[in-house]
Amino acid sequence: MIPIHVESAWKGTSDCRSCGIRDLVLFADLNEEDFGLIHAPIDDMAFPSGGLIYSEGEKALGVFTLRQGMVKLVRSTSDGRERIIRVLRAGDVVGIEAMATGHFDSEAVALNNVMVCRIPLDVMHSLSTHSPRLHNRLMQKWHQALKGADDWLADLNFGTARRRLCKFILKMRFDEQPDQSSMFSREDMGAMMGLKLETVSREVSSLVREKAIEPLDKMGRLYRIKNEKLLIEA
């Protein structure tokens, strides 16, 4: 977990008009007039796995659109242990709470190689008041975040360890290759589901033994789903 200075993450200035995933993101339906309202540069940034995007309570320069990779939101509980609130994926807005308060409510850490665009707060504010297009999009992003939080709680924090892991695997499937799913360090996975790393390891091994999943690498990060039914019904 090596903190990365913002400067070293900077990759250049984005051209949003030609963004590869524009249909997913905040700027999806901006028109030329809207783009004209952007008077500050939108920074293109990259973080390696484990890189710190921002920390809890930090003053925000902007919000981030996640273009590639996955990001975990972490809160330190009163007793010092770390709890992973939820995981964001491509198209999600990282740090959306800064729109309301100017600060970040949790810590954001890259789970793998991550690429984000940082949109300055004042750009967001002026766009959200002057462009109904962005205003609507933003509302959808708030909704997406809230629903994501509720789903995370309902899916990954109820029932047996086995059931939680199955839900987790289904949730972490790749959109493009639904037969593959990604995992993380057993400790992180434990912090996501409220389990200990040994329990996570045991349940993963158990699913492999029962041929519900099959490892695709030697680091235990990528698995193929062999028996979807077993996972859904568990």
Pick the binder of DNA from 205, 210, 211, 224 (CB under 7 A): 205
What is the C-alpha separation between 80 and 172, in angstroms, rounded? 27
What residue 202 binds from a copy of itself, DNA, none (CB within 5 to 8 A, per partner kind)? DNA
The two three-digit tokens of residue 193, written as one number: 């589901």
Orientation angle between helical segments 121-130 and 132-156, nearest 10 degrees: 110
- Distance of closest approach, residue 203 Cβ to a copy of itself, in angstroms: 18
Please, what is the end-to-end C-alpha distance for the chain in angstroms? 34
Verify binding: residue 195, DNA, rule CB under 7 A: yes
Q: Which stretch binds a copy of itself (CB under 8 A): 40-48, 94-102, 176-184, 196-204?
A: 94-102
Verify binding: residue 72, DNA, rule CB under 7 A: no
What residue 229 binds from DNA, a copy of itself, none (CB within 5 to 8 A, per partner kind)? none
For 17, 146, 167, the CA distances from 113, given in Å and listed in that order, are 23, 25, 24
Q: Which stretch binds a copy of itself (CB under 8 A): 26-34, 115-123, 149-157, 219-227?
A: 149-157
Burial class (CB in 10 A: 0-12, 13-18, 19+), 208: middle
Verify binding: residue 101, a copy of itself, rule CB under 8 A: yes
Verify binding: residue 196, a copy of itself, rule CB under 8 A: no
147 Cβ partners below 8 Å, 6+ apart?
none
Verify binding: residue 202, DNA, rule CB under 7 A: yes
Verify binding: residue 219, DNA, rule CB under 7 A: yes
For 80, 90, 91, 106, 191, the CA distances from 77, given in Å and listed in that order, are 5, 27, 28, 11, 11
Strand partners, 115: 46, 68
Q: Which stretch binds a copy of itself (CB under 8 A): 40-48, 49-57, 95-103, 207-215?
A: 95-103
Residue 194: count other Cβ atoms within 10 Å of its Cβ.
14
Q: Which stretch binds a copy of itself (CB under 8 A): 43-51, 76-84, 203-211, 218-226?
A: 76-84
Verify binding: residue 71, a copy of itself, rule CB under 8 A: no
Residue 90: count other Cβ atoms within 10 Å of its Cβ.
17
Binding site for a copy of itself (CB under 8 A): 73, 75, 77, 79, 81, 83, 85-86, 96-97, 99-101, 105-106, 128-129, 132, 135, 139-140, 142-143, 145-147, 149-150, 152-154, 157-159, 194
